[in-house]
Amino acid sequence: MQRGRDGAMNHPAAANETESGFEIRHLGLQDYSVVWNRMREFTARRNHTTPDEIWLVEHPPVFTLGTNGKESHLLNPGYIPVVRSDRGGQVTYHGPGQLVAYLLIDLKRRRLGVRALVGAMEQSIIGLLAEYRIKGETLAGAPGVYVAGAKIAALGLRIRKGCSYHGLSLNVELDLNPFQHINPCGYQDMEVTSLHDIGVRISTGEVEPRLLNHLTFNLQNPESEAAPL
């Protein structure tokens, strides 16, 4: 996946597909607020026949605060814009080189609880890391996935009328410096890492299908521990 002259991501003309009962949308590089508004509109108008969707996207630099996020965790945002979002959690950073997966799922229809959804997301990241012989783990009371104590993936959800939106972000090849200007996810001095930082030289475009494989498997088999390779 390459960037055009205007900074947008170039994708094949057929950007959307269906996989394992999910509509998959490859959105490229998109403004956070634009995608957030589209998620809310999609969730507001969906009904019991609307297919579930997974949106894969990258965002230009932005800090986002969750519904109960404390502005005190924004230490020095500088030139990077700040958006007050409606997801759960505190403050995080999005930027190019970070793969974001938004999960627009009818939880009632799939008989999937929020805890099971969070577990499926975390297990998907752990399974992906295992492909590269990297041990990912979760921490009690701190949702997300960590490698040797450093956060590599963050989670944030909103549930409306039994349907989810927002999702997860995985640090692939992004500049980690902006995390120094916040308390990531509300934790002072929390270390943050990326696939590149731990020696996996891979692009977000190469990660997309691998992550998607784990997500679709774990969302349909929430008690399982690994997707087939």
Q: Could you give the C-alpha distances from 76 to 33, 73, 91, 92, in angstroms and in order?
A: 21, 9, 12, 13
Per-residue confidence at 11, pLDDT binned at 50, 70, 90? Answer: very low
Render pLDDT for 163-209 as a digit per residue (tens, 0 to 9). Answer: 999 999 999 999 999 998 877 776 677 899 999 999 999 999 999 99
Architecture of domain 16-220: 2-Layer Sandwich (3.30)
Q: Tell the residue number behind the tokens 């805890």, with chain if given.
A: 115
- 221, two tokens: 């088999």
Structure token pair of residue 209: 């299908």
Q: How far apart are CA 217 and CA 52, in angstroms?
A: 14
pLDDT digits (tens, 9 = 90+) for 86-127: 898 888 899 999 999 999 999 999 999 999 999 999 999 999
Q: Which has the closest alpha carbon to 209: 20, 8, 7?
A: 20
What is the arithmetic mean of pLDDT over 129-157? 94
**Is the pLDDT assigned to residue 13 strictly greater than 60?**
no
Distance, CA of 69 to CA of 207 (rounded, Å): 29
Q: Is the pLDDT of residue 3 over 60?
A: no
pLDDT for 148 beyond 70: yes
More confident residue, 68 or 40: 40
d(CA 188, CA 227): 34
Beta carbons of 82 and 121 less than 8 angstroms apart: no
Q: Which residues are catalytic?
A: 185
Amino acid at 128: L
Phi and psi of 228, rounded to 5°? Answer: -65, 140
User: Which alpha helices (H) appear in the chain, and where do they start and end?
Assistant: 32-45, 107-110, 114-131, 204-220
User: Chain centroid to CA 123: how far?
Assistant: 13
Whether pLDDT at 14 is above 80: no
With cut-offs at 50, 70 and 90, classify the pLDDT of residue 76: confident
Question: If phi over 0 gives left and psi between -120 and 50 gives alpha, with beta otherwise, what is residue 101?
Answer: beta
pLDDT tens by residue, 19-67: 678 999 999 999 999 999 999 999 999 999 999 999 999 999 999 988 8
Domain limits, the chain? 16-220
Cα separation, 13 vs 70, in Å, equals: 41
pLDDT score at 182: 77
Share of residues in the chain with pLDDT > 70 (%): 87
- The interaxial angle of helices 204-220 and 114-131, nearest 10 deg, is 140
Sign of CA dihedral 223, 43, 159, 178: positive
Mean pLDDT taken over the chain: 87
CA atoms of 182 and 73, how far apart (whole Å): 6
